[in-house]
Amino acid sequence: MVNRKWMYIFIQFLLVSSIRSDDDVFEDDEEEVTKGSDDKEEFVPSLFVAPKLSDKSTPNFFDYFPVGSKIGLTWIKSLAKKDDVDSDIAKYNGEWSIGAPTKVSIEGDLGLIVKTKARHHAIAAKLNTPFAFDANTFVVQYDIKFEEGQECGGGYLKLLSEGAEKDLANFQDKTAYTIMFGPDKCGATGKVHLIFRYKNPINGTISEYHANQPTTIGSTYWDDHNTHLFTLVVKPTGEYSVSVDGKSLYYGNMMSDVTPALTPPKQIFDETDLKPVDWDERENIEDESAVKPDDWDENEPQSVVDEAATKPYDWNEEENELIADPEAKKPQDWDEDMDGSWEAPLIDNPACKGLSGCGTWKAPTIKNPKYKGKWIRPKISNPAFKGKWTARLIDNPNYFEPKPFAGLAPITAVGIEMWTMSENILFDNILITSSEEDSSDVAKQTFYVKQKEEYRLAAATGNGNGFFQQIIDATNEKPWLWAVYILCVLLPLVAIGVFCFGKQSKPTPNFAKKSDAYSADDDRVPNLVDDDEEEIIGDEEDDVNQPGPSGSQSNPEPQDEEENAEQQSANSSQSSAAEEEDDEHVVPENEPVKPTEEFAKKSPKNTGGAKRRTARRGD
């Protein structure tokens, strides 16, 4: 009972935790859906409130695209062409605009929109103040909305290196950048890119280093047509963290969690080292001194006919193993001129059923004991073997001990350069700063307000995701939630099964007497063997009315007064003698009484009814 009690408490704890968790995640959405479905009020967009930063905040760049923003002022569309591609697709001819989304949830909230699909797009803006990687934390944050979903394409930002701000009209795929960050998807594969371009201080080469991350993320960010917030934080220690919608997606450190490793190897293979001409890498060679044996016959077949085999006695050579199906009919559309002569398909011959076989009997083949195959020279160890050759190791002339921010070029501009098969991709609230507090403050004033209004719009128009769909979306982001859901469903079922079908324990019978006085059941045999063995004793009052030797269906004949008096006197004396005898047989309390023949003879006779016993005595 104690274990079952604790199991019930544990199940209730899981259920309450799950309910509370679901309430926290979906409480606002359910309220909006309920309000939209019950009241069915027409959706009225809320008014846009421009985000404000504190007076101490000095972001390097912040654009929430206020009313009046136009392409060509802050954001410059690229006029460049891609190299090494056909001329008809080399141009960055994708169209951009600054405007509201197709479905307005906040009146006056604008963004930078990709207006075309299946084109190359490129646009860039100069930072208010350059960001130098020194002792300050680097933060970039923006929100993006794929109104039409995303089939194949990106939504990432390129944080352009110093010098790019001088000619934004020529921004292209080969323009130098310091960090690339943001979502990218094609087919079922989706990532949130984080790429650093780091300069080797010894030889001046700049290489790309990709942050280690999950290979694929859920499709929620692209297919639910809602706005999502992407945030990158890089600290001077090299620690980076990527979050989506305020939830951590992955994190690591530039010094250990990028590919290839940021720290170059101390030794490398000497590229000028050449393998000697006489270097023999063969570990085994053929034994040239070996000679084929004279009795080696390469012409012997691998198998021969078994001459000892005999035809089974029940083999029927008069019947064929397969016959034409007698029930088959030529199709009505069969054209013998085009399809040829029609023949019924073959089936197993019923006459051969149960026999060893039918048709012409042939002796089986067996492995030829004389077969040896083609003779080849055996191999021996190569006496000239020198091992596998590799170039010698030398000290890496370009080795250096990196410091996280030392090789990152200052950022002076931000650009969007991508190919996409979708249109109506909206970028908004692009922030570059050294303050995590600023990014959190901007998110509260922009993204979280927008997210709530989009849920309200979806609920009012009947396009919102249902409760179960939201659960599925949550598991796409956090697959471990499936385990919680399964436990919340499975454990109650197990508890119900245990409660309803669990075997109840039976109480142990107690045959102790409460007094020393003789009672009518002193001669009953206690059930000392099994719980499911049965003892049935007839009731005296019932047996009086039963037919048989000890019972009668009619009332007993009355006795005269003298006989009654004599019987009462005899019973009184017999009872006195029994009480004196009982004093000699005192039974301790809680000890089962075992009747004896002597004690049974002194007990009053029961003439009322028959007794039926089914209990078995122990050995």
pLDDT tens per residue across span 248-303: 999 999 999 999 999 999 999 999 999 999 999 999 999 999 999 988 998 999 99
Q: What is the pLDDT of residue 454?
A: 86
Q: What is the mean pLDDT of residues 205-234?
A: 82
* Contact by Cβ (8 Å): 439, 433: yes
Strand ranges inside 532-586, DSSP E: none
pLDDT digits (tens, 9 = 90+) for 23-82: 444 444 444 444 444 455 688 888 999 999 988 889 999 999 999 899 999 999 998 888
Q: What is the mean pLDDT of residues 174-198?
A: 88
Q: What is the pLDDT of residue 611?
A: 44
Which amino acid would we find at residue 583? D
d(C-alpha 31, C-alpha 83), whole Å: 53
| The pLDDT of residue 141 is above 60 | yes
pLDDT digits (tens, 9 = 90+) for 360-391: 999 999 999 989 899 999 999 999 999 999 99
Q: What is the pLDDT of residue 35?
A: 46
Residue 432, CA distances (Å) to 108, 130, 163, 231, 323 in order: 23, 10, 18, 10, 84
d(C-alpha 69, C-alpha 514), whole Å: 101
Q: What is the mean pLDDT of residues 474-487?
A: 66
Choice among 396-400, 545-549, 576-580 with the minimum mean pLDDT: 545-549
Residue 457 pLDDT grade (very low, low, confident, very high; cuts 50, 70, 90)? confident
| The pLDDT of residue 310 is above 50 | yes
Q: Is 184 annotated as a binding residue?
A: yes
Which two tokens mark 431?
């922030």
Q: Which DSSP category does 500 fall into?
A: H
Residue 587 pLDDT grade (very low, low, confident, very high; cuts 50, 70, 90)? very low
Closest CA to 362 of 287, 406, 307, 314: 307
Which two tokens mark 522?
């002193």
Q: Is the peptide bond before 260 cis (omega within 30 degrees of 0)?
A: yes
Q: What is the pLDDT of residue 3?
A: 53
d(C-alpha 502, C-alpha 614), whole Å: 28
In this structure, are strands 138-146 and 227-234 parallel, antiparallel, or unpaired? Answer: antiparallel
Correct CATH for 46-268+404-457 of 2.60.120.200, 3.90.1150.10, 2.40.170.20, 3.40.50.300: 2.60.120.200
Closest CA to 459 of 446, 473, 474, 470: 470
Q: In this predicted model, which residue has the larger pLDDT, 176 or 480?
A: 176
| The pLDDT of residue 602 is above 90 | no
- Mean predicted lDDT score pLDDT of the chain: 78
Highest mean pLDDT among 35-39, 321-325, 467-471: 321-325
Q: What is the pLDDT of residue 25?
A: 41
Which amino acid would we find at residue 400? F
Q: Is 156 annotated as a binding residue?
A: yes
Q: Which residues contact 48 (CB under 8 A, 6 or more apart)?
A: 106, 107, 108, 109
DSSP string, 444-496: HHTHHHHHHHHHHHHHHHT-S--HHHHHHHHHHH-TTHHHHHHHHHHHHHHHH
Which amino acid would we find at residue 474? A
- Calculate the dihedral angle through the C-alpha atoms of 583, 588, 591, 593, rounding to the nearest 10 degrees: 0
DSSP string, 534-549: --B---HHHHHTS-ST
Q: What is the mean pLDDT of residues 213-236?
A: 80
Residue the block writes with tokens 């049965």: 534
Which amino acid would we find at residue 157? L
| The pLDDT of residue 467 is above 60 | no
| The pLDDT of residue 394 is above 60 | yes
| The pLDDT of residue 584 is above 60 | no
Q: State how far Cα 241 lies from the chain centre.
A: 24
* Contact by Cβ (8 Å): 458, 35: no
Choice among 39-48, 303-312, 469-478 with the minimum mean pLDDT: 469-478
Q: In this predicted model, which residue has the larger pLDDT, 225 or 442?
A: 442
pLDDT digits (tens, 9 = 90+) for 80-104: 888 776 766 778 888 999 999 888 8
Q: Is 158 annotated as a binding residue?
A: yes
Q: Is 109 annotated as a binding residue?
A: yes
Q: Considering the chain, what percentage of its residues have pLDDT values greater than 90? A: 46
d(C-alpha 172, C-alpha 389), whole Å: 45
Which two tokens mark 267?
């030794």
| The pLDDT of residue 537 is above 70 | no
Q: Considering the chain, what percentage of its residues have pLDDT values greater than 70? A: 68
Q: What is the pLDDT of residue 105?
A: 86
Q: What is the pLDDT of residue 4?
A: 54
Q: Which DSSP category does 260 fall into?
A: S
